Amino acid sequence: MCPCTSTVRNSMRTGGAPSGTLAPELRRLMSAADSSAIVISVSGEEREVTAKTAAELFADDPKIVVARVNGVLVDLSHELSAGDSVEPVFIHEPDGLNVLRHSAAHVMAQAVQEYRKDAKLGIGPYITDGFYFDFDVAEPFTPEDLKKIEKSMIKIIKSGQLFRRRVVTHDEAVAEMANEPYKLELLSLTQGPGSGADAAEGASVEVGEGEITIYDNVHPKTGETVWKDLCRGPHLPNTKLIANGYALMRAGGAYWRGSEKNPMLQRIYGTAWPTKDELVAYKERIAEAERRDHRRLGRELDLFSFPKNIGPGLPVIHPKGGVIKREMEDYVRTRHIQEGFQYVSTPHISKEDLFYTSGHLPYYADGMFPPMELDNGHYRLKAMNCPMHNEIYRSRGRSYRELPLRFFEFGTVYRDEKSGVLQGLTRVRMITQDDSHSYVTKEQAPDEVRHLLKFMLSLLEDFGMTDFYLELSTRDTEGDKKDKFIGTDEQWEEATAVLEQVAKETGLELVPDPGGAAFYGPKISVQAKDAIGRTWQMSTVQYDFNQPSRFGLEYQAADGTVQEPVMIHSAKFGSIERFLGVLTEHYAGAFPAWLAPVQVIGVPVAEAFNDYMTEIADKLRAHGVRVEVDYGSDRFTKKIRTASTEKVPFILIAGGEDAEHGAVSFRFRGNKQENGVPVDEAVARIVEHIRNRVNEDPKPSTEAAE
């Protein structure tokens, strides 16, 4: 971009069109002054235009906020050249939303620096549904601070400040950012090999490949630069486009460049949407997620807790949570046996050497707890079960006739997660995996991966998760990160090709995850969407060519030669604790009857019917149904309320009319009632609903339903 033309254009824009798009008269004047039309392609269509910039080209539609020129996302002020291929980007498209959110982050940072003069800027990228910005400030931000910052954002937004891109040299950038030590650090990283793109998570919004740019926030009337930031852009043409829907959500600490060795900065999270309705909907989604938070529900429903005296990331499961956990375990144990797995069991600690053999040391050292002294040597808590299964494999000679040989166990593993990342049951230090290892010949590997994927998907469906995509995690192929993975290029390619092929066959969406593999091989993970559309990583299957050779695993092939098997790791729930947490949120604590800690609660209308209700409960108990009768002294209506807050799937009511006719009444969620159902029929309906593992709420029978 030529700096002088940009100066001319900018001064016209500030003088004439505060909204950031040119007034029509001005455009006419410009084209009259310069009649040199150019031919460009607009959304794939060749056009002769006099527009000098994307802003002029798309001046008619204020929803177009940036443009893609020759495949690169640019500001609307970008100057067009003959032969350019130009596409409009609307504010509601993914790229448009990202630009909106990053622009909102700039406005927030400007507001913060007005309010806290000491604030030094960290980075401020867009993220899913919003943005954040990190600041070095003396005092953390309080909720009151956020309100004040939000208020001063209104002023900035309404004033319609223009975002203006300016290319600078490295030395100019250093001079302009002299008071921003973190920006100077990012600039210094752009000088070295590999540039600044990897400098910090999110730092690519500031610096990266190509020229260094600063974005000025320019007052539309005075033309004065009121704030600026080192930034790659692009940005909205002006701040007014943020006005419809933005909010600051919360603040918290975050280490500069994600490392504990660096200073702790204060991060403010915000959100921005093209319309107010979308902002409201987003806030409702957040509120719904809070309503479903398994940590809160776990306490309210007496399922599990996180005692401080035991330690962070070490949950205890209470009797009611224990019922759900046992149902999950019973299910998965039975399924594994049906799918050809043999049940095994291994210790929780072992000699440290075992993990050197497997490669977990040093490759997974960060995830393991420190060693303990025992018998003049070091022992370790296990972080994975595979090394122990390998010991079972090599406990005797194996023949090709035994393959696939499949071991399964509920293996509790221990991971040294930093206390900052622990979260309820979904990120813990003690994980019980429904862990399996299939030992196969190389030829059998694709079929075994297919078999495991099918198993995993059907398991998730049985638990009511039906919306999935797959992720294919591969190793990092560049730089020193490559050294975190063991094995040759050929081995990785071969293993990845097998997983990719089988994943594609499912017809599910397949998303690449470069760098996400385990050190010993690539992985497919099933990402399941919950009831409110959030994605959780559930089952995983990994192809491992490393551990068999490190452990010297062998089998005798049909031709009498000795061969090395391939090992396929798989966990279906992933972690039982985590799955329990996810299920709690998916069902908002209202578990399907087959999983519910209490499946039926009997509420006699008055004390006179206690015995009658007990008889019905006994009949259900005889079928293995988990049933309770509320004999308490509360009034009937209070008992019904209690049963529904405890989210018991079946509420049975018995009163005079029921007792007279050998019947019972159902009370369903949403207060629907079905009266006078013969007891045997009621029992049969409940038993069938549970036995069939129906995940939907019980409903009135068709005759009774309106």
Pairing of strands 120-121, 85-90: unpaired
CA–CA distances in Å: residue 70 to residues 84, 86, 96, 136, 249: 6, 6, 17, 38, 36
Query: In angstroms, what is the minimal distance from the CB of 65 to Zn ion?
Result: 15
- CA-nearest of 472, 347, 465 to 412 is 347
**Token pair 């092939």 in the structure block, residue:** 557
CB of 285 to Zn ion, least distance (A): 26
Residue 37 tokens read as: 């039309």
Cβ atoms of residues 242 and 108 within 8 Å: no
State the minimum distance, in angstroms, from the CB of residue 704 to Zn ion.
51
Q: How far is the CB of 231 from Zn ion (least distance, A)?
A: 3
Nearer Cβ to Zn ion (241/653): 241
Q: Which of 42, 189, 231, 268 binds Zn ion (CB under 5 A)?
A: 231
Stretch that binds Zn ion, among 334-342, 382-390, 438-446, 643-651 (CB under 5 A): 382-390
Under the binding rule (CB under 5 A), the answer on residue 569 touching Zn ion is yes
Q: Is 437 annotated as a binding residue?
A: yes
- Helices marked H in 203-293: 276-291
Stated length of the chain: 706
Nearer to Zn ion, 406 or 569 (CB): 569
Minimum separation from the CB atom of position 627 to Zn ion (A): 40
CB nearer Zn ion, residue 22 or residue 517: 517
From the list 110-118, 225-233, 239-247, 489-497, the region that binds Zn ion by CB under 5 A is 225-233
Kindly tell me the burial class for residue 526, based on how many C-beta atoms sit within 10 Å of its own C-beta (0-12, 13-18, 19 or more).
buried
CB of 330 to Zn ion, least distance (A): 23
Instruction: Identify the residue whose tokens are 């309770």.
Output: 628
- The residues in 107-146 that bind Zn ion, with binding defined as CB under 5 A, are none
Side chain identity at 489, as an amino acid letter? D
Residue 254 has φ and ψ, to the nearest 5°, of -155, 135
Residue 386 touching Zn ion (CB under 5 A)? yes
The stretch among 72-80, 384-392, 667-675, 691-699 that binds Zn ion (CB under 5 A) is: 384-392
Least CB distance to Zn ion at residue 234 (A): 9
Q: Read off the tokens for 94.
A: 């993914």
> What residues are labeled active site?
386, 415, 433, 435, 437, 523, 569
Please, which of residues 471-510 interact with Zn ion by CB under 5 A?
Answer: none
SS3 letters across 165-191: EEEECHHHHHHHCCCCHHHHHHHHHHH
Site size toward Zn ion (CB under 5 A) is 3
Structure tokens at 173: 């950038």
Cis peptide before 404 (omega within 30 of 0): yes
Determine if 690 is a binding residue for Zn ion (CB under 5 A): no
* Piece of the chain touching Zn ion by CB under 5 A; list 152-160, 379-387, 473-481, 631-639: 379-387
Q: What are the contacts of 144-150 at 24+ separation with CB within 8 A?
A: 145/115, 145/251, 146/248, 146/250, 146/251, 146/268, 148/115, 149/108, 149/111, 149/112, 149/115, 149/248, 149/268, 150/111, 150/247, 150/248
CB of 547 or CB of 599, closer to Zn ion: 547
Residue 80's CB is within 10 A of a number of other CB atoms, namely 21
Q: CB-wise, 386 or 617, nearer to Zn ion?
A: 386
Was 389 annotated as part of a binding site?
no
17 binds Zn ion (CB under 5 A): no
Task: Tell me which stretch binds Zn ion (CB under 5 A): 69-77, 189-197, 567-575, 636-644.
Answer: 567-575
Q: For residue 447, give the nearest of 486, 491, 403, 386 by alpha carbon.
A: 403
- Per the CB < 8 A criterion, the answer to whether 679 and 654 are in contact is no
Name the residue type at position 407.
F
Please identify, using beta-carbon distances, which residue of 107 and 146 lies nearer to Zn ion. 107
78 is in an annotated binding site: no
- Our CB check for Zn ion shows the closer of 272 and 682 to be 272
**Residues annotated in a binding site for Zn(2+):** 386, 437, 569
**Residues annotated in a binding site:** 386, 437, 569
Which positions lie near Zn ion, rule CB under 5 A? 231, 386, 569
